[in-house]
């Protein structure tokens, strides 16, 4: 174990076990995207899809795909998309709901994909479970697997690092799940360090039951190697 991952040695295992425990309830609660989504969020996903289509037929990955409803939406928008999620149970439920699509078990911190193969990556509300000291490695992984010019869209709840949340119960199930809140500056600085080019950043005010502003960051891998 390196000094780098000594701080959060088990975060992948605890995240996987937690989402496995809540996968059916989470899917039941959050699989109505895009019907349940905000018009602005949908328009950003549509912009991402348009940019990714320029690199078609290169495949697009929805990383931290959860119930798979955003993967299915991107498929409906004409993208050759597949999902990746750390939770085998979440992947099983996504496959059951969307049998025409591919979903794989995997972690964004170490993707089982060759270099420069993807025409885009979308990761909505999934980097929130990656500790700060693993964020640069994760973005370097995104950079490695993206083709030159390919877009990356991230969404996350914006907040201060000190407000880090550790949940031991959700949907009545015992879990050990960490949520890392960050500012857009922290995320965009780290993306830049990983070699990605920033395209846009948007901070949307919380709506309805949302507790924190929603940040969207669009970046891309440079055209030149």
Ligand X SMILES: C[S@@+](CC[C@H](N)C(=O)[O-])C[C@H]1O[C@@H](n2cnc3c(N)ncnc32)[C@H](O)[C@@H]1O
Using CB under 6 A, list all residues that contact ligand X: 12, 15, 19, 30, 63-66, 70, 84-87, 90, 107-109, 124-126, 129-130
- In the complex, minimum distance from the CB of residue 2 to ligand X, in angstroms, rounded to a whole number: 17
- In the complex, minimum distance from the CB of residue 223 to ligand X, in angstroms, rounded to a whole number: 27
- In the complex, minimum distance from the CB of residue 137 to ligand X, in angstroms, rounded to a whole number: 11
Q: Of 148 and 166, which has the nearer Cβ to ligand X?
A: 166
- In the complex, minimum distance from the CB of residue 44 to ligand X, in angstroms, rounded to a whole number: 12
Task: Give me the DSSP letters along the chain.
Answer: --HHHHSSTTHHHHHHHHHHHHHHHHHHHS--TTTTS-HHHHHHHHHHHHHHHTTTTS-EEEET-TTSHHHHHHHHTT--EEEEES-HHHHHHHHHH-TTSEEEE-BTTB-SS-TT-BSEEEEES-GGGS-GGGHHHHHHHHHHHBPTT-EEEEEEEB--GGG-EEEEEETTEEEEEEE--B-HHHHHHHHHHTTEEEEEEEEEPP-TT--SPEEEEEEEE-S--
Q: Of 197 and 202, which has the nearer Cβ to ligand X?
A: 202
Q: Of 64 and 151, which has the nearer Cβ to ligand X?
A: 64
Q: Of 87 and 188, which has the nearer Cβ to ligand X?
A: 87
């Amino acid at each position: 174990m390196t000094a780098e991952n000594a701080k959060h040695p088990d975060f992948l295992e605890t995240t996987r076990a937690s989402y496995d425990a809540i996968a059916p309830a989470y899917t039941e609660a959050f699989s109505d995207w895009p019907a349940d989504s905000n018009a602005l969020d949908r328009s950003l996903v549509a912009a991402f899809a348009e940019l990714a289509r320029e690199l078609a037929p290169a495949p697009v990955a929805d990383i931290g795909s959860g119930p798979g409803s955003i993967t299915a939406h991107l498929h409906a928008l004409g993208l050759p998309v597949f999902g990746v999620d750390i939770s085998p149970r979440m992947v099983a439920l996504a496959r059951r709901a969307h049998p025409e699509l591919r979903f794989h078990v995997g972690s964004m911190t170490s993707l089982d994909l060759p270099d420069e193969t993807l025409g885009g990556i979308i990761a909505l509300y999934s980097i929130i479970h990656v500790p700060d000291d693993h964020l640069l490695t994760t973005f370097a992984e995104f950079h490695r697997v993206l083709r030159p010019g390919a877009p990356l869209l991230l969404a996350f709840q914006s907040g201060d690092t000190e407000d880090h949340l550790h949940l031991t119960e959700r949907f009545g199930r015992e879990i050990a799940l960490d949520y890392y809140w960050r500012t857009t500056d922290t995320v965009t600085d780290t993306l830049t360090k990983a070699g990605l080019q920033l395209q846009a950043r948007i901070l949307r005010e919380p709506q309805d039951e949302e507790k924190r502003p929603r940040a969207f960051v669009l970046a891309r891998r440079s055209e030149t190697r």
